[in-house]
Structure 1
């Protein structure tokens, strides 16, 4: 699967310039008919820098952007660099770091707090993060339990798994590699098996919870602590009790809330409906591509590189 994905991506990036000129025109025509409020709201959310700024000395010219260790990140950015000249320069970071640089930089994730403006969100590593599911199991027919599988390499997840791994209403476990001799080390559980549970836990790891997107596209209910980081998915706009159920870090309210939402199915399904509606904002491929282009266009314009945009509508 990975090989096929990478092969398609490399072939796409090898297409001739006239294809990207055509694609640019297609996106610009779509811009005239799309939901302008949605476009503007999301663009302003991703790109918070208000003022003009000099090109950061750390910025890389399009012609010099290299794959490095982040192949998926590289491909996701490269897909939209075709719309700019080879001399256009962008500062970017490939990886899970959530540091806020002193200069505007394209990041996959940033902390949810004031003063994060220099971290400009871009849709990076999207194959891993932007997965949706077609869940055919009604909420009322799922198990009255919470499920989770994932890596527990950092302190936050280690503390979490140690506290809840043996909870009678939970089927949770770490899938660390190499395997650790811990009672909470468990086998991988496929997504289709996790969808049989009413509640799926979405704890943050290096940054955001990787499973959050597919969970919110399902008929299961998302449980998680209040998010600290956000990506293109705009986790900072999610509201507890509206899009997900918030649990506290000590997890002493976990059993009570699992029991409550297992019984109060109408309330649970209303939250799930809201979560599904949030997911729908990211399922229009033309809007997604247009927003990626607009983020880079705004970066070029704000850094005085208007002439480095290769095509014009």
Structure 2
């Protein structure tokens, strides 16, 4: 097993210590300065060239279409305190500090795959009908929102499929490993700890850079979404996966099969057939890569992402009829 510190330094993921330093320093900034600026920030939407697009994004994340009354036990923002997992506190506090602290909300941290009983802020939601109580925000972004600059062209990569991930407790991933572990076109490995799955599956982690030596990277859902999907779609490799069942701020529900990623059946039975098709048709594969890059680009404008986040919360408080303005 690779030295853990060496792996963390070379993994290609964002250094968490920088994230934590920035967010602890954020606690020192007076909240009233942000509340004073809020109306001006929200008003900046009017007249923007991308105003219609921003409104569409806001309504996608927050699908409340009529006023809703929150239950009496919904907590005010003032009670939102730092606790584990801290990333969910930090990523919400960045935007909740802009609003009056008496406003009440629902907030469910973690990997959420059910629809809450009343409108609540979540990182992930199931792609099902009537999921409007699941209000998406960009949470756990230090882990999920990673993009890469891939210098290796698709045609220079190995004609193989790679998967590295935790299999323990994830039936779908276990089935995938049972079907394809040891196949000559597949480099698969389970990085779970304390697992009872076959010992031959166990392997060391690979860095993002090492993944990018392969043309095809499996993006398999775990507890909710496939956390590697964002960086895979920003690379010159192609994400291979069944159609998503959950989504996050990345709007996985809007991805087009065989346009942004290679779609395979939920039972994985056509994996080799689909991959071999794109090995034989590299121009079509590169079209998918180009479309994936175009999709990823919409999340790279930091100022716009901040405005969308504030508007999602503003709509939440407005649609829960709290009369804060």
Shift of 1:115: 1.3
TM-score, structure 2 length as denominator? Answer: 0.90
Shift of 1:69: 2.1
Shift of 1:158: 1.2
Q: Counterpart of 2:172? A: 156
Deviations 1:123-157 (A, max 9, x none): 11111100000101011111111111011121111
Are 1:261 and 2:275 counterparts?
no
Shift of 1:178: 3.1
Taking the aligned partners of 1:138 and 1:26, their CA distance within structure 2 comes to 44
Q: Secondary structure at the match of 2:108?
A: coil
Q: Which runs of 5+ in 1 are unaligned?
A: none
Q: Counterpart of 1:31? A: 45
Deviations 1:180-213 (A, max 9, x none): 5521111101100100111111000000000000
Q: Counterpart of 1:130? A: 145
2:162–2:187 CA contact under 8 A, matched in 1: yes
Are 1:186 and 2:203 counterparts?
yes
- CA RMSD in angstroms, aligned pairs only: 1.7
Q: Counterpart of 2:321? A: 304
Shift of 1:55: 2.4
Shift of 1:34: 4.7
2:161–2:215 CA contact under 8 A, matched in 1: yes
Q: Secondary structure at the match of 1:147?
A: strand
Q: How many residues align?
A: 308
Taking the aligned partners of 2:305 and 2:56, their CA distance within structure 1 comes to 13
Deviations 1:204-251 (A, max 9, x none): 000000000000011111100111001111100111111111111332
Deviations 1:33-74 (A, max 9, x none): 250121111111111111101123342211101223220011
Q: How does 1:139-150 map to 2 (within 5 A)?
A: 139-150=154-165
Are 1:172 and 2:168 counterparts?
no
Are 1:209 and 2:223 counterparts?
no
Taking the aligned partners of 1:183 and 1:28, their CA distance within structure 2 comes to 55
Taking the aligned partners of 1:86 and 1:22, their CA distance within structure 2 comes to 13
Taking the aligned partners of 1:23 and 1:213, their CA distance within structure 2 comes to 32
Q: How does 1:268-287 map to 2 (within 5 A)?
A: 268-287=285-304
Q: Counterpart of 1:8? A: 22
TM-score, structure 1 length as denominator? Answer: 0.93
Q: How does 1:43-54 map to 2 (within 5 A)?
A: 43-54=58-69
Q: Secondary structure at the match of 1:306?
A: coil
Q: Secondary structure at the match of 2:41?
A: helix
Q: Counterpart of 2:213? A: 196
Structure 1 residues 97 and 29: CA distance shift in structure 2, 3 A: closer
